[in-house]
Chains A and B, each alone.
Chain A
Amino acid sequence: MKHLHTLGFLLFALGLLIVPLTASNEYELRIFMLFLIYGIIAVGLNVLIGLTGLVSLGQAGLFALGAYTGGITATRFGFDIVMASLAAALVSALFGAILAYPTVRVRGVYLAVITIAFGLIIENVAIEWQSLTGGTTGLSSIPSPNLLGVELSGYAFYAVLAIALFAATLLTHNLKASRYGRAMRASSQSEIAARALGINVTTLRTLAFVIASMSAGIAGAFYSFLNAYISPDIFTFSDSIRFLLMVILGGAGSTFGPVVGAYLLTYLPEYLQQLAAWQTFAYGALLLIVMFALPQGILGTLDSALKRWRPHPRRSEPVDARTVTDTLRPSAQDTSRAELVTRALTVKFGGLTALDEASIRVKPGEIHALIGPNGAGKSTFVNTISGFYRPTSGEFEIAGQQLSGKRSDEISRLGMARTFQNTELFGDMSVLENVIVGCQQHFGYGLAQALVRSPRMRREEREAQRIAIALLDFVGLATHADDEARFLPFGLQRRLEIARALATRPRILLLDEPAAGLTTQEIDELATMIRQIAALGITVLLIEHHVELIMAVADTVTVLDYGQVIASAPPSVVQRDPRVIEAYFGGQGDLQPTAKANP
């Protein structure tokens, strides 16, 4: 795959070099330059659609914003092409952030609506603010582009555009393979799991939209120079649809897909012109056809076909078992403080009290089991201390640090990791990538380093990969590293969740019913694994129904009933507690594990 991308970039560069030489007239070159501009928009939009799975229907508005910024700064302040496009990038990025931040933290769907509205606002502002934009007559006499005062010839301008598109494609390709791109993809596949791994989904989505806005802005500035004239009616809603279609048709999420899509849709209107009034209809129909017949787009479909034809070879790298120990063992002073304490934690859903003043203390380094009949409040407890539910009252802390009121990603970064009752894997990502997403908080490299693949970025990525493979080996999944996560059998999916949670290097690990749906043998292996994890000094909170497992591994058992803690003691004591027996069987009896599980 890696070589394929290198080859792709070489061919792409070659194509960009050859075209101006073969263009027979200026008009042909101009159309090709238009393609380059649309390509920049599509490549940026791909970050939003292909990686975060959000849709913008207002790229034409951002394109217009960039065009006006570029045009106005060039005419009024004599900005050269670089300065003008930087100004355009800045203004578009700013508006992108203002639009995206309030929107994406509520619902991703809203972004589509907000962006349509934004496109309309821009159009209306461009019409109204005549002194600046020239109103409906538009902005004419935009000077021809110059660089540092030297006027650019047609070919030099072409070179600027070609370099810009090539750079944009390369940078987004690098972004995709970095921690940012990985986290974006993860959050589009399971927002909940991403948050639980310490990823701030809102920030990431905003970042993706800002990137898409910036590239639309830069493209706009270029466009204003190419056209030398802009007016409000150049940037319409159907352009927004066209930009979206470029990404979808070419293949959302693929490196060259948007470029291919932009190429096709720049030249297609030349042919569609015969259709006259049916042209818009054709766009709609094309979008619909692509959605049903080619949902992965042209390059996405080719890519899948290639994978089926030549699957990944199985990995057989030697794994150093010490990696896991070295990575996971907390430093000495940490161990003493990895204690989880809840005080009078109460959660109410309307009239229902799911958790009633639950005070629990999970001692550092122990395996603490939380049990209780169905509806006792176990899941509510887990979801509350991992930050997904807001407690009605009460507080909780880890190692003396207040957690109440913190978001789930913040809590994760403070050392709490969890798995999910109904597994929440990133289904379309490989098993290995799933675990590397867990390493997210331990990367130190920033966005700029990700974009240029700095040595530090590569070193940290290699290190994360080494740790991830070791963790996969630890849970017995090393041979599955390159499989897609959704194809794993259920039992292995649970193990993958554990490996992924461990990759965050937690101080405390919450296992939410890890034995549900497992075979007896798998449960035995799970018990061994839990003991090994605890032996590394990680506190384990185990929420489980499976009595045998609990009796086999737990140091302390806390019993919840109707949201209240009714017992908290070593398993042998809890087993004989009459209140516990009452809660489970509704009468007298003895809660003895079956013969096999003897701790």
Chain B
Amino acid sequence: MSTIMQYILSGLAIGGIYALVALGFHIMWSSAKAVNFAHGDTLTIGALLTIMLLAAGLPLWLACLLAIAAGGVFGTLVERFAVRPFAAHSGSIGWMLATIAIGIMIESLATIETNGYSLPLPSPGVERAVRILGAGVYPQELLIPLVAVLATLGLKLIQRHTLVGRAMQAIAHDKQAASLMGINVNAVVALSFGLASLLGAAAGILIAPVVQASATMGVLLGLKGFAVAIIAGITSAPGVLVVGLLFGVIEKFVEGYISTAAREIVGFSLMILVLLIAPQGLFGKREVVKV
């Protein structure tokens, strides 16, 4: 019983990270029909930058805030300089390659900076484990899924009640029409990349105390976040949240009962299987091709 509880709780923690990352992909895809393939690296940026700022003597809360802000700036810059120049050409793969290139550069810079070591990020959330139904977890791990839920709700609120949020939805629906209605499409797209990266950097900071920060921490998390977005349907924010949490839990069970390698095999095979059966994802809407 306690083992099962343990798997569920730690699964929800890592699942919350997947959900946050996938939410970022959802936001970017909705507005730009393109994503930042270096999105996983925003997690690395968030976590490593926090550690560096802490080392420079800043208090934890300020270090976190600055790192998250830096993540947001990074996302906006990527959109401006690596996505937008290629987005005009429909069907262009330029943005994909450019963002991949940036991802490679960041990862290798981070490797050089950290000498390839993993670094701890101290957090009050991992000082003492708590026991829930026999399972031991850090408060930090309980916090993560909560943040994911709040972020999804927050996104919905922004989309419903703010001008920027409505503009984002308008652009998702029809870029050209939105632009004709006086919406500054470029600005809103840049903003949504920024928003996605804020979430990414925050996710990196949240998970780093549990798994340690390293140059390569973001790659796999980013990839799994995309897998979650594909399984859920990249068009659905609530779907991404549910699938993200679920994916984390399933992974923990496979890891626990079979092996770590099996975890990756099962997780990604699941993604391909879902694509076969439900091409638009479990919660996604079929996109009507505008002719």
Residues of A within 8 A of B (CB): 49, 53-55, 57, 98-99, 101-103, 105-106, 108-110, 112-114, 116-118, 120-121, 124-125, 127-128, 188-192, 237-238, 241, 244, 248, 277-281, 283-285, 287-288, 291-292, 295, 349, 379, 382-383, 388-389, 420-421
Residues of B within 8 A of A188 (CB): 91
Give which listed residue, A57, A121, A291, A388, contacts B94 with CB less than 8 A.
Answer: A291
Residues of A within 8 A of B226 (CB): 113
Residues of B within 8 A of A379 (CB): 291
Contact B111 A287 (CB under 8 A): no
For residue B102, CB closer than 8 A to chain A, the reply is yes
16 contacts between A and B (CB under 8 A): A49-B93, A55-B93, A55-B96, A57-B100, A108-B91, A110-B275, A112-B37, A113-B223, A117-B272, A121-B264, A124-B265, A125-B265, A191-B91, A241-B104, A382-B291, A388-B289
Contact A283 B104 (CB under 8 A): yes
Contact B276 A102 (CB under 8 A): yes
Contact A284 B223 (CB under 8 A): no
Contact B261 A277 (CB under 8 A): no
For residue B251, CB closer than 8 A to chain A, the reply is no
Chain A: CB-nearest residue to B104: A284
Contact B93 A284 (CB under 8 A): no
Give which listed residue, A114, A285, A288, contacts B272 with CB less than 8 A.
Answer: A114
Chain B: CB-nearest residue to A281: B108
Contact A128 B37 (CB under 8 A): no
Residues of A within 8 A of B103 (CB): 284
CA distance A277 to B111 in the complex (A): 8
From known contacts A55-B93, A103-B275, A110-B230, infer whether A120 and B104 are also in contact, taking CB-CB under 8 Å.
no
CA distance A318 to B124 in the complex (A): 84
CA distance A396 to B250 in the complex (A): 46
Contact A287 B104 (CB under 8 A): yes
CA distance A31 to B291 in the complex (A): 51
Q: When A and B form their complex, which 10 residue pairs have the shortest distance between CB atoms, in order from nearest?
A: A284-B104, A284-B105, A287-B101, A117-B268, A124-B261, A288-B101, A280-B108, A281-B108, A102-B275, A102-B276
Of the listed residues B103, B104, B219, the one surrounded by the most CB atoms of chain A closer than 10 A to its CB is: B104
For residue B107, CB closer than 8 A to chain A, the reply is yes
Residues of B within 8 A of A237 (CB): 219
From known contacts A113-B226, A281-B109, A287-B100, infer whether A54 and B271 are also in contact, taking CB-CB under 8 Å.
no
For residue B130, CB closer than 8 A to chain A, the reply is no
Contact A192 B289 (CB under 8 A): yes
From known contacts A113-B227, A116-B223, A278-B112, infer whether A287 and B264 are also in contact, taking CB-CB under 8 Å.
no
Chain A: CB-nearest residue to B269: A121
Segment 57-102 of B: residues with Cβ below 8 Å from A = 82, 85-86, 91-94, 96-98, 100-102
CA distance A248 to B93 in the complex (A): 11
Residues of A within 8 A of B143 (CB): none
Of the listed residues B34, B85, B101, B105, the one surrounded by the most CB atoms of chain A closer than 10 A to its CB is: B101
Min CB distance A349 to B, Å, is 7
Contact pattern, B 245-277, Cβ under 8 Å of A = 1, otherwise 0: 000000000000001011011001101100110
A-B contacts at CB below 8 angstroms, number: 127
Min CB distance A546 to B, Å, is 20
Contact B262 A121 (CB under 8 A): no
Contact A113 B230 (CB under 8 A): yes
Residues of A within 8 A of B34 (CB): 109
Give which listed residue, A49, A105, A420, contacts B291 with CB less than 8 A.
Answer: A420
Contact B108 A118 (CB under 8 A): no
Residues of B within 8 A of A108 (CB): 91
Residues of B within 8 A of A287 (CB): 97-98, 100-101, 104
Contact A248 B97 (CB under 8 A): yes
Of the listed residues B35, B37, B226, B275, the one surrounded by the most CB atoms of chain A closer than 10 A to its CB is: B275
Give which listed residue, B102, B230, B272, B289, contacts A284 with CB less than 8 A.
Answer: B102
CA distance A592 to B158 in the complex (A): 52
Contact A291 B98 (CB under 8 A): yes
Chain B: CB-nearest residue to A196: B291
Segment 90-149 of B: residues with Cβ below 8 Å from A = 91-94, 96-98, 100-105, 107-109, 111-112
Residues of B within 8 A of A190 (CB): 91
Contact B272 A99 (CB under 8 A): yes
Min CB distance A213 to B, Å, is 15
For residue B280, CB closer than 8 A to chain A, the reply is yes
Contact A121 B265 (CB under 8 A): yes
Majority secondary structure, B binding face: helix
For residue B1, CB closer than 8 A to chain A, the reply is no
CA distance A470 to B259 in the complex (A): 65
Of the listed residues A191, A283, A295, A421, the one surrounded by the most CB atoms of chain B closer than 10 A to its CB is: A295
For residue B181, CB closer than 8 A to chain A, the reply is no
CA distance A197 to B112 in the complex (A): 52
Residues of B within 8 A of A125 (CB): 261, 265
Min CB distance A189 to B, Å, is 6
Min CB distance A11 to B, Å, is 29
Chain B: CB-nearest residue to A117: B268
Residues of A within 8 A of B35 (CB): 109
Contact B108 A278 (CB under 8 A): yes
CA distance A54 to B31 in the complex (A): 21
Residues of B within 8 A of A106 (CB): 275, 279-280
Contact B101 A280 (CB under 8 A): no
For residue B288, CB closer than 8 A to chain A, the reply is yes
CA distance A237 to B264 in the complex (A): 15
From known contacts A113-B230, A277-B108, A284-B102, infer whether A102 and B279 are also in contact, taking CB-CB under 8 Å.
yes
Contact pattern, B 8-37, Cβ under 8 Å of A = 1, otherwise 0: 000000000000000000000000001101
CA distance A238 to B219 in the complex (A): 12
| 15 other A-B residue contacts (CB within 8 Å) besides A288-B101, A379-B291 | A55-B97, A105-B279, A109-B96, A113-B226, A117-B272, A120-B223, A124-B262, A191-B91, A192-B291, A238-B104, A284-B103, A284-B108, A288-B98, A288-B105, A388-B289
CA distance A128 to B272 in the complex (A): 21
Of the listed residues A108, A191, A284, the one surrounded by the most CB atoms of chain B closer than 10 A to its CB is: A284
Residues of B within 8 A of A383 (CB): 291
Residues of B within 8 A of A116 (CB): 223
Of the listed residues A49, A54, A125, A287, the one surrounded by the most CB atoms of chain B closer than 10 A to its CB is: A287
Residues of A within 8 A of B288 (CB): 349, 389
Chain A: CB-nearest residue to B260: A124
Contact A120 B268 (CB under 8 A): yes
Min CB distance B211 to A, Å, is 18
Contact A121 B268 (CB under 8 A): yes
From known contacts A117-B271, A124-B264, infer whether A281 and B280 are also in contact, taking CB-CB under 8 Å.
no
Contact B264 A120 (CB under 8 A): yes
Of the listed residues B85, B93, B102, the one surrounded by the most CB atoms of chain A closer than 10 A to its CB is: B93
CA distance A54 to B85 in the complex (A): 19
CA distance A20 to B262 in the complex (A): 45
Residues of B within 8 A of A98 (CB): 272
Residues of B within 8 A of A241 (CB): 100, 104
Residues of B within 8 A of A112 (CB): 37, 96
CA distance A291 to B101 in the complex (A): 9
CA distance A188 to B97 in the complex (A): 16
Chain B: CB-nearest residue to A283: B104
Min CB distance A310 to B, Å, is 26
Chain B: CB-nearest residue to A129: B261
Residues of A within 8 A of B98 (CB): 287-288, 291-292
Chain B: CB-nearest residue to A124: B261
Give which listed residue, B82, B86, B104, B272, contacts A280 with CB less than 8 A.
Answer: B104
Residues of A within 8 A of B291 (CB): 192, 379, 382-383, 388, 420-421
Min CB distance B96 to A, Å, is 6
Min CB distance A370 to B, Å, is 15
